[in-house]
Amino acid sequence: MGGPNDAAGDSFLSERSAKVFVAGHRGLVGSAIVRKLRDLGFANLVLRTHAELDLTRQSDVEDFFASEKPRFVILAAAKVGGIHANNTYPADFIAINLQIQTNVIDSAHRHGVKKLLFLGSSCIYPKFAPQPIMEDALLTAPLEPTNEWYAIAKIAGIKMCQAYRIQYSWDAISGMPTNLYGPNDNFHPENSHVLPALMRRFHEAKVRGAKEVVVWGTGSPLREFLHVDDLADAVVFLMEKYSGLGHVNVGSGKEVTIKELAELVKEVVGFEGQLVWDSSKPDGTPRKLMDSSKLANLGWTPKISLKEGLRDTYKWYLENVKQ
């Protein structure tokens, strides 16, 4: 998908004093976007914690947009979790995400927001999509069951941005990041994604002097990881350069097996014991490497290697999370 606007758009970077609402600014992604925007000199960020503004509450969101009237919106607030959380709380993952994105996208449009960026996820694609996954693989085959509820909400978000562009000529775009990690990640033992879960488990095992650490599944699934600072850079790039109908993949182009990832995290943390695989836990999608050539052709490439990103994230974990 696409069109004549694909590489067009007025300049986001020329409006650094404009109000930018970053929804979800305390999360992994939102906090990285705030760091990036502040580095670039954006001086008028509009930020609300979940406690200050619950984005599932339609009338509160409406009132917020009516009074704040932001010029740009970056939607990084969502109900997010790893394979276990997605599989255990399907109602939360579909309902909360549909509510947040519907409220924010619709209110943003009705209150004069100039441009909005919606974030989806690589889980929108079919479980057995041809690899690497092109944007046009969307809705071509069944989804991965462990996260189909979340994926359906995200697909609805993409479609809502497209529908508002078609009906109202409104500049709403969607970026689809691959698996992300970095500072401010969620290190919950069960509900987080694999990378922070393993970092914490290896760290705690090292401190306890444990001989073994349990890792979920078979270790054979492949995943593509992108440091969240690269994602934040891509988000700003898309805000500046992209105004098309189709969503845009944002990946690193590099994949590792979960076993390779576990060995890398183990090395960075300095845990010297053994890995024990718990094959009663789900593997999820066998492989989801995205084809990010659409974004590369617009002129963006990632900079942070997985090894470097892991070291940076472990340093952050030691300074901010561990007891």
Ligand X SMILES: C[C@H]1O[C@H](OP(=O)(O)OP(=O)(O)OC[C@H]2O[C@@H](n3cnc4c(=O)[nH]c(N)nc43)[C@H](O)[C@@H]2O)[C@@H](O)[C@@H](O)C1=O
The residues that touch ligand NDP, with contacts defined as CB under 6 A, are 24, 26-30, 49-50, 54-56, 76-80, 100, 119, 121, 177, 179-180, 186, 193
24 binds, among ligand X, ligand NDP, none (CB under 5 to 8 A by kind): ligand NDP
119 binds, among ligand X, ligand NDP, none (CB under 5 to 8 A by kind): ligand NDP
* Nearest alpha carbon to residue 290 among 180, 185, 172: 180
Q: What is the side-by-side order of every strand in the sheet holding 179-181?
A: 179-181, 222-227, 255-257
C-beta of 118 vs 170, nearer to ligand NDP = 118
Q: Is 283 in the site for ligand X (CB under 6 A)?
A: yes
Q: Is 24 in the site for ligand X (CB under 6 A)?
A: no
Enumerate the H helices of 180-305 as residue ranges: 194-208, 228-241, 258-269, 293-298
Q: Could you tell me the CA-to-CA distances from 51 to 48, 91, 93, 113 in Å, in that order?
A: 8, 21, 19, 23
Give dist(CA 15, CA 278) in Å, integer: 51
Q: Is 30 in the site for ligand X (CB under 6 A)?
A: no
Cβ at position 155, least distance to ligand NDP in Å: 12
Q: Is 223 in the site for ligand X (CB under 6 A)?
A: yes
Helix, strand, or coil (residue 132): coil
Give dist(CA 194, CA 277) in Å, integer: 13
* DSSP3 helix / strand / coil % (the chain, rounded to 5): 45, 15, 40
215 binds, among ligand NDP, ligand X, none (CB under 5 to 8 A by kind): ligand X
Give dist(CA 78, CA 125) in Å, integer: 18
Residue type, 121: S
Q: Is 271 in the site for ligand X (CB under 6 A)?
A: no
C-beta of 93 vs 300, nearer to ligand X = 93
281 binds, among ligand NDP, ligand X, none (CB under 5 to 8 A by kind): ligand X
Give dist(CA 50, CA 56) in Å, integer: 10
Task: Name the closest residue to ligand X (Cβ).
Answer: 82
Q: Is 150 in the site for ligand X (CB under 6 A)?
A: yes
Q: Catalytic annotation on 317?
A: no
C-beta of 202 vs 237, nearer to ligand X = 202
Residue 187, both tokens: 């290190």
Cβ at position 82, least distance to ligand NDP in Å: 8
Report the interface residues with ligand X, using CB under 6 A.
81-84, 86, 121, 123, 146-147, 150, 179, 192-194, 197-198, 215-217, 221, 223, 258, 281-285
Active site residues: 150
